[in-house]
Amino acid sequence: MLSALDKDGNRVYAWNVKYGNKYDYFCPHCKNPVFVKKGEIRVHHFAHYPYSACSYKEWEPETGDHMKMKMYFYKALRGRSWVEFVDIEYKVGSNIADVYVETVSGKRIAIECQASKCSYKRMDEKTSKYHDEGVYVIWVVKKGVKARPVEIFGRKVVCVFTNKPYVVDIKTKERGLVNFNAEPCFTENSCMFYLKNGFSDGRRSAVDYVTKEKKEEEKEPSIDDVFDGYDVEVDFAKIMNARNIRCSKCGRVLISEGKLNDFGMVIEGSNSTVIICDCGRVIKIRGVEL
C-alpha cells in the first residue's frame, strides 16, 4: 500500500513521509493504524499491523513489481494536459483502483495493474463493478500474465508492462509503446491507451504473454523508466570522497560517511541510484548502487 491518511485525515504517500509513531498513519479503508516500511525494499510502502482486520487486505502483501507498476503509471500521468485528477489506491464503489484518473473531458478511468496470475472471472467481476460506477477500465499485465483482450483499433489487444508499457496485438504479436500525452481511446465498453509511434513489426516484438513456451530472461526495469526527469544528476566518482552529501534544495544530509540516512525513497538499478528527498527533490547518482 503506497498511500495512507495522516492524523489530520490528509492523504500521504510512503515516499514522502518519515517514520512515525503508531498512531501517525492510518489505512484509508479500514481506518486502522498502519506503519511505513523504509527498509531494503526498493519501493517504500505502508503495511497493516499483524492484528489488524481489514476487508481490503486482500491486496496485501503486494509484490515489488505491482508497486512499481502503480508508481510508474501514477508518475507518468501526473501533469498531463488531458488529466484533471489522478491518484493511487483510490476507492471506486467496492473496488480500489490501483491508479484512478479523471479526464478533462469528464471520463473516469481505473488502471488495474496485474503482476501475478488472476482468473478471467475475477477480472470480469472487477470490470463489471467499475462499469456499474460509470468507470472505464484499462488492465495492465506484467509480461507472462494473461488478460482478456480488448477489441479496439480493429485489433484484439492487451496492455503489457515489461520495463515500459506496450499495447500488444495478441494475433500478430505487434506492439506499440503507450502514448501518455494523448487521452486514451474509448468505445462503448472499452478503453485503451493510444500508441506513440504505431505498432512495430511482429518479428521485432519481444512480448509473448499468451504461452509460456518462450521464456526470456527478464531485464530489471530501468530507473529511467520510473522517473522521466531528475532535478540533479551527479557522478558518484565526483562525490565519493565527500564526508556528507546534502540535498541541494533543503540542505538535508542524505549520505553520511558513505551510508544512506533516512530519506523519502530510493530506487536502485542499472548501476545508478535515485534518491527522493523529503522536500521532493529527485537526485540521480550515476555509477553506484547504494
Instruction: Please write the tens of the pLDDT for every residue from 8-18.
Output: 888 877 766 66
Burial of 49 (0-12, 13-18, 19+ CB in 10 A): exposed
Is 216 contained in some domain? no
CATH number reported for the structural domain that contains residue 174 in this entry: 3.40.1350
Does the residue 146 lie in any domain?
A: yes
Residue 218 lies in a domain: no
The whole-number pLDDT of residue 245 equals 78
- Mean pLDDT of the region 259-286: 66
Percentage of the residues of the chain whose pLDDT score is greater than 90: 27
pLDDT of 106 reads 95
Inform me whether the pLDDT recorded for 286 exceeds 70: yes
Residues 177-214: pLDDT tens digits? 999 999 999 988 889 999 988 887 544 433 333 333 34
Specify the pLDDT at position 237.
74
Look at residue 211 and tell me if it is in a domain.
no
- Are residues 275 and 223 in contact, defined by beta-carbon separation less than 8 angstroms? no
Comparison of pLDDT for 233 and 38, the residue scoring more:
233
Cα 163 from Cα 182, distance rounded (Å): 20
Are 114 and 197 in the same domain?
yes
Specify the range with the lowest mean pLDDT, choosing from 22-31, 70-79, 121-130. Answer: 22-31
User: CA 132 to CA 135: how far, in whole Å?
Assistant: 7
Mean pLDDT of 260-267: 56
**Are 71 and 187 found together in one domain?**
yes
183 domain-assigned: yes
Q: What are the helix (H) ranges across the chain?
A: 64-77, 120-132, 223-226, 236-239
Q: For residues 4 and 261, what is the distance between their CA atoms, to the nearest angstrom?
A: 23
pLDDT at 66 over 70: yes
| Averaged pLDDT score across all residues of the chain | 77
Structural contact between residues 239 and 260, judged by C-beta atoms closer than 8 angstroms? no
Tell me what the mean pLDDT of segment 51-66 comes to: 64
Model-level pTM?
0.60
Higher-confidence position of 242 and 120 = 120
Read off the pLDDT of each residue in 272-290 and give the average, rounded to a whole number: 71
110-169, pLDDT tens digit by residue? 999 988 888 889 899 999 999 999 999 999 999 888 888 999 888 999 999 988 899 999
81 has a pLDDT exceeding 70: yes
- Count of domains forming the chain: 3
* b/e code 205-232 from CB counts within 10 Å (16+ = b): bebbbeeeeeeeeeeebebbbbbeeeee
For residues 22 and 83, which has the higher predicted lDDT (pLDDT)? 83
pLDDT at site 183: 95
Q: Which of 152, 172, 204 is the last residue of a domain?
A: 204
Q: Are 136 and 199 in contact (CB under 8 A)?
A: no
Tell me which residue range forms the domain holding 94: 64-204
> Percentage of the chain surpassing pLDDT 70?
71
Cβ-proximal residues to 195 (8 Å cutoff; 6+ apart), any chain: 167, 176, 177, 178, 179
In a domain, 175, yes or no: yes
